[in-house]
Amino acid sequence: MTDVLQLLRNHRSIRKFTTEPIGDAMLQSIVEAGQAASTSSYIQAVSVVRVRQAKQRSAFAELAGGQPYIETAAEFLVFCADLHRNRNRVEAASDNHADYSWVEQFTAATVDVALFAQNVVIAAESLGLGCCYIGGIRNAPDRVTELLELPELVYPVFGLCLGYPDQNPDTKPRLPVASVLHQDRYLSPQVHKELLDQYDTNVKEYYIKRTKGKLSFTWSEQMAKQVQNQKRPFMESYLKKQGFMIK
């Protein structure tokens, strides 16, 4: 079944979609594939909100920093870490207060969501769909919480646009495997540096070739640009307000 490896390696984010809808049965089937992913101690800490209304879609496109494909994709799903369900059931079953505010639980729930979502993406791509994760919804977690009426102990991790692709972008060069797959212990600084120097050269060549010389930067330069500003400084207080990571 090496076509699966091929499918995985061919992944690129799709940001332009045809108008063809996704049937309810197909969507359900894709979400079920997501549910089949592993879950930490069976907590199943995932909720997915399917956003259909045009007004809601516009609000999301805007809050995510102007990503118009959120409006045009056949489906837009918001993946949430959800420990609300668990707490509710535990408190109803046992009459005890159930504590879900540890950093550990935040981490496990976030991992659960990502494992689930990646299965959704693979399932969707295997059916000819294209996808694009939207981390930009974390620009305005309060607003998302309000729009989707998320209760305590639920937070939006990322969105996902889904639809039939109307573009065919390149895959982007990844880090050398040797710099990612360490043997027995973390790679020595010198070896790591050599591998990344080479990678920087490759990324620069990729951009020059792709844009006919208009763009030319290394991976390290891109990373440097990214950290010039504060990174969503409101996330910690937002998460605490939702009941996460209080301890």
**Scanning residues 75 to 104, which ones bind a copy of itself (CB under 8 A)?**
85-86, 88-90, 92-94, 96, 98-100, 102-104
d(CA 45, CA 131): 22
* Residue 219 binds a copy of itself (CB under 8 A): yes
Q: Distance (Å, rounded) from C-alpha 173 to C-alpha 219?
A: 10
Work out how close the CB of 47 gets to a copy of itself at its nearest, in angstroms, rounded to a whole number: 6
Distance in Å from the first CA to the final CA of the chain:
46
d(CA 170, CA 203): 13
Q: Which of 18, 58, 65, 180 binds a copy of itself (CB under 8 A)?
A: 180
The enclosing H or E element of 158 equals: strand 154-163
Do the beta carbons of residue 76 and residue 60 sit within 8 Å? yes
- Please report how close the Cβ of residue 88 comes to a copy of itself at its closest, in angstroms: 8
> Residue 243 corresponds to which amino acid?
G
| 123 is a contact residue toward a copy of itself (CB under 8 A) | yes
* Residue 68: CB minimum distance to a copy of itself, A: 19
- What is the C-alpha to C-alpha distance for residues 209 and 202, in angstroms, rounded to an integer? 11
Q: Indicate whether 216 belongs to the interface with a copy of itself (CB under 8 A).
A: no
- Which residues within the stretch 3-32 sit at the binding site for a copy of itself (CB under 8 A)? 3-5, 7-11, 13, 27-29, 31-32
What is the gyration radius of the CA atoms in the chain, in angstroms?
20
Using CB under 8 A as the binding rule, whether residue 170 contacts a copy of itself is answered as no
186 counts as binding a copy of itself under rule CB under 8 A: yes
Question: Does 135 participate in binding a copy of itself (rule CB under 8 A)?
Answer: yes
Does the protein bind a copy of itself through residue 210 (CB under 8 A)? no
119 binds a copy of itself (CB under 8 A): yes
Task: Give the residue, chosen from 25, 66, 149, 212, that forms a contact with a copy of itself under the rule CB under 8 A.
Answer: 149
Count the neighbouring beta carbons within 10 Å of the beta carbon of residue 196.
Answer: 17
Q: Tell me 184's DSSP state.
A: S
Cβ within 8 Å of residue 92, ≥6 positions away: none
Residue in this structure with the two tokens 């799903």, named with its chain if needed: 77
Q: Are 17 and 74 in contact (CB under 8 A)?
A: yes
Find the shortest distance in angstroms from Cβ 231 to a copy of itself.
4
- Out of 143, 192, 204, 241, point to the residue binding a copy of itself (CB under 8 A): 192
* Of 15, 37, 61, 137, the one binding a copy of itself by CB under 8 A: 37
